[in-house]
Every structure is written in C-alpha cells, then in structure tokens.
C-alpha cells in the first residue's frame, strides 16, 4: 500500500505490456465553495511518469491481467524496458478522463459522501495498448482497495479492429453480460460494433483471467 493514499492499484496487462498505477485520496473534506451539497465530488487527473515516486510503485496494491498462466504472481512483476511504450498525448488523457469520469459517476454511491471530495491520480508506467480498459480496471481496483461503496464493480474489455477501438464496460450484477457503457474511438459501424461486442463476451467466457481479476480483489477486500 502507498502510505499517503487511501487506496491504490497497479495493474499489469502482460498480454501487451501496459502498466497503470492509480492512487486514490479520499473521500475527504472539500472547500465549502467547491462542495456538492448532496453528493461526492470526483476529480481525475493524469500524472506524468517523471513526477512518480518510487515508493508508490513498490507499495501499490498489485493485480495482474495476464494472457496465460497465473495472473497474480507478484514475483513476475517487472517494468519491461524492451517493449515499445509511448507517453499518452494530452488529447488521449483528456478523452480517457472524460470516459472514466462517466463510468465512475454511474458506479460509485455518490450520495453516501455529501460535501466530500474523491481524487484519483493515474500514472501510465508503460503504454503499449489497451490504455482505456486498463485505466478503467485499475481505477475500479483502487476503489475496491479503499473500500468505496459502489453499485457494481464493472469490468472493461477492449478490442481494436480496423483502427477503431471498442471498449465495453460490463456489469458484474449480470455476470458481466450486460453492457453498462461502451466507448468508441474511431469510425463507428453497427456490424463492427456487434462483432466487437461478441468477441469481448466470448473472450470473457473463455479466459478466466478477466473475471478473476475482480474476483480476487473482492475476495481479499470483502467490500461487498
């Protein structure tokens, strides 16, 4: 755990090499002039890697999202210096911030913390693809780690056919069958959308790692 944070999660997608660290602060006091009188105020911001503290990586709550084998073997956690990684552009960050904010506003029980504030800081350690889904999943795990009450614990799956990225936010209450929200970055085609959704649902059914990613967190944190 990060000593200064109320919750944290470091997710490693070993299929592509992307690593996301999310630190969470709050719920805490907010200035009276900035308060929302009936619900929680949410703040999400990307932090550049050069501003990252070594202690944050060493002590973060670790969850692996793997293509094969045990996705939760912490001994295998390394920042691969040989993969092709790139810093997200400001436009990418703002797009993900907007989409993640919408997901969390529909997920967190906001009325449980009136006049309070919750802040999430996102650090991209390695960007090798699947940035949207990994950021969303890492944020949900950080919320679980902090014990924040939620209506559900959604799971994000991402698929990119023909230079169009589809990200589906699936609802745990339906066994991850119903779509809470879908994010599309690129050209929209109804048939392509349907094929992408079917691919992700099939991937979820056939690959235990996606489901066990959240089940492990729920088992250890006992938030629900």
Per-domain residue ranges of the chain: 7-221
Higher pLDDT, 109 or 50: 109
**What's the pLDDT score for residue 127?**
86
**What's the pLDDT score for residue 107?**
93
The pLDDT of residue 165 is above 70: yes
Superfamily of domain 7-221: GHMP Kinase, N-terminal domain (3.30.230.70)
Task: Tell me the average pLDDT of the chain.
Answer: 76
Q: Report the pLDDT averaged over residues 187-205.
A: 86
**What's the pLDDT score for residue 1?**
46
**What's the pLDDT score for residue 120?**
93
Q: Report the pLDDT averaged over residues 40-63.
A: 62
CB 182 within 8 A of CB 168: yes
3-state secondary structure of 127: coil
**What's the pLDDT score for residue 2?**
64
Would the pTM count as exceeding 0.85? no
């Amino acid at each position: 755990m990060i000593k200064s944070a109320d919750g944290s999660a470091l997710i490693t997608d070993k299929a592509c090499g992307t690593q996301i660290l999310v630190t969470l602060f709050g719920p805490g006091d907010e200035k009276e002039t900035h308060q929302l009188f009936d619900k929680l105020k949410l703040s999400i911001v990307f932090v550049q890697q050069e501003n990252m503290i070594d202690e944050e990586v060493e002590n973060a709550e670790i969850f692996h999202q793997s293509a094969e084998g045990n996705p939760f073997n912490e001994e295998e956690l390394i920042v691969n210096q040989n993969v092709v990684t790139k810093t997200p552009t400001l436009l990418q960050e703002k797009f993900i911030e907007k989409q993640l904010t919408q997901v969390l506003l529909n997920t967190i029980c906001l009325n449980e913390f009136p006049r309070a504030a919750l802040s999430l800081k996102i650090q991209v350690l390695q960007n090798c693809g699947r940035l949207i889904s990994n950021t969303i999943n890492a944020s949900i795990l950080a919320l679980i780690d902090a014990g924040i009450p939620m209506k559900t614990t959604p799971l994000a799956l991402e698929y990119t056919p023909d230079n169009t990225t589809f990200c589906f936010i699936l609802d745990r209450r339906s066994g991850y069958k119903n779509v809470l929200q879908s994010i599309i970055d690129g050209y929209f085609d109804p048939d392509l959308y349907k094929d992408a959704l079917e691919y992700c649902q099939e991937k979820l059914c056939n690959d235990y790692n996606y489901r066990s990613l959240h089940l492990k967190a729920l088992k250890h944190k006992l938030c629900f």
